[in-house]
């Protein structure tokens, strides 16, 4: 399987294609794809669905993907990684911590192909942001770098809002409170204090002694197991996509050490085939 690497923290290109000549491949960066015009099919991790004008896709690192073009298609590709959001020599705004907190959500929101934005108003805003980023990147006027970073900050926050709504829709619960608790856990995975039973109980006005029982009754698994699985997903994502060491990741996520983390990850991510078939195969 070909893995495309990029040393550039940020890159944007606009391509008008009648045929997709690349074989299915992976890359070591995030890629946002905007369909400016055209139609066809997108393949990601063996799933195939149609695409059309104004669709927006987010391709996380190391997800296998390709496109099959039916009608000539104009793509805008935005490629980025965590280095783009660090403070640079010009001392622009440092988005490092913000992007670190967002990284897991971008990597793991649902791992499904397809348009990621379902709100018409959000899609309209994103289209304007993407075109604005492309204009600044290609014309390089004064303060373009700061404007591009600001646009990307807004763009990714809009995506996060849509991911949160998708999570709620995909995890219907018996009542609103358990749905809110599940979302609270998912979007506070980097804050160990907020995942303590006492913290969750205080946030949702429940008794600390009742939280675990309530959670098991509503979800079918213990709170401890659910949080552990979620932390394993974070650890797996960071090991693949960040420059942190296993020791640093284990410490931040509450594992005893890197060896303990590796054993837990192996439990949930047994070794398997790493392959991706082209469309139609």
The H or E element containing residue 30 is strand 30-44
Alpha-carbon distance of 163 to 133, in angstroms, equals: 22
Q: State the pLDDT confidence band at 190, using cuts at 50, 70 and 90.
A: low
Looking at the domain assignment, is residue 276 inside a domain?
no
**Both structure tokens of 259:** 């060896």
Looking at the domain assignment, is residue 273 inside a domain?
no
What is the DSSP secondary structure assignment for residue 195, as one 8-state letter?
G
Q: Give yes or no: residues 185 and 163 share one domain.
A: no
Q: State the pLDDT confidence band at 170, using cuts at 50, 70 and 90.
A: low
- Which has more confidence, 173 or 86? 86
Q: Give yes or no: residues 148 and 189 share one domain.
A: no
Q: Give yes or no: residues 75 and 153 share one domain.
A: yes
Alpha-carbon distance of 241 to 244, in angstroms, equals: 9
Tens digits of per-residue pLDDT, 83-137?
787 766 565 677 777 776 676 666 655 445 567 788 889 999 999 999 999 999 9
Q: Give yes or no: residues 238 and 101 share one domain.
A: no
Domain boundary among 143, 170, 197: 170
Residue 70: give its domain's CATH number: 2.60.120.10
Domain residues for the domain of 158 are 3-170
Looking at the domain assignment, is residue 157 inside a domain?
yes
Alpha-carbon distance of 53 to 40, in angstroms, equals: 10
Looking at the domain assignment, is residue 194 inside a domain?
yes
Q: Give yes or no: residues 27 and 156 share one domain.
A: yes
Q: Give yes or no: residues 203 and 166 share one domain.
A: no
Looking at the predicted structure, is the pLDDT value of residue 280 above 70? Answer: no
Looking at the domain assignment, is residue 281 inside a domain?
no
Looking at the predicted structure, is the pLDDT value of residue 174 above 60? Answer: no
Q: Give yes or no: residues 226 and 244 share one domain.
A: yes
Looking at the predicted structure, is the pLDDT value of residue 26 above 80? Answer: no
Q: State the pLDDT confidence band at 37, using cuts at 50, 70 and 90.
A: very high
Q: Give yes or no: residues 142 and 8 share one domain.
A: yes
pLDDT at 281: 41
Q: Give yes or no: residues 130 and 182 share one domain.
A: no
pTM: 0.65
Alpha-carbon distance of 47 to 258, in angstroms, equals: 34
pLDDT at 279: 45
Burial classification of residue 168, based on how many CB atoms lie within 10 Å of its CB (0-12 exposed, 13-18 middle, 19 or more buried):
middle
Closest CA to 115 of 183, 16, 39: 39
């Amino acid at each position: 399987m070909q893995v495309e690497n990029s040393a550039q923290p940020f890159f944007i290109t606009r391509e008008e294609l009648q045929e997709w000549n690349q074989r299915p491949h992976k890359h070591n960066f995030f890629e946002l794809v905007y369909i400016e015009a055209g139609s066809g099919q997108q393949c990601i991790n063996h799933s195939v669905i149609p695409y059309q004008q104004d669709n927006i896709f987010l391709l996380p690192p190391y997800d296998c993907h390709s496109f099959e073009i039916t009608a000539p298609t104009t793509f805008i590709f935005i490629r980025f990684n965590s280095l783009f959001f660090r403070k640079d020599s010009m001392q622009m705004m440092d988005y490092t911590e913000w992007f670190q907190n967002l990284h897991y959500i971008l990597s793991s929101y649902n791992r499904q192909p397809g348009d990621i934005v379902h709100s018409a108003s959000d899609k309209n805003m994103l289209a304007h942001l993407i075109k604005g980023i492309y204009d600044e990147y290609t014309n390089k006027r004064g303060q373009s770098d700061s404007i591009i970073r600001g646009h990307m900050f807004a763009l990714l926050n809009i995506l996060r809002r849509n991911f949160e709504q998708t999570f709620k829709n995909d995890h219907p619960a018996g009542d609103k409170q358990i749905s809110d608790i599940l979302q609270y856990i998912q979007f506070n995975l980097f804050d160990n204090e907020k995942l303590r039973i006492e913290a969750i109980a205080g946030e949702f006005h429940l008794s600390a002694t009742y939280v675990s029982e309530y959670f098991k009754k509503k979800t079918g698994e213990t709170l401890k197991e659910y949080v552990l699985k979620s932390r394993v997903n974070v650890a797996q994502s960071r090991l693949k996509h960040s420059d942190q060491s296993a020791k640093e990741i284990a410490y931040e996520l509450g594992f005893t050490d890197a060896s303990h983390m590796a054993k837990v990850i192996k439990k949930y991510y047994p070794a398997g085939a790493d392959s991706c078939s082209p469309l139609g195969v």
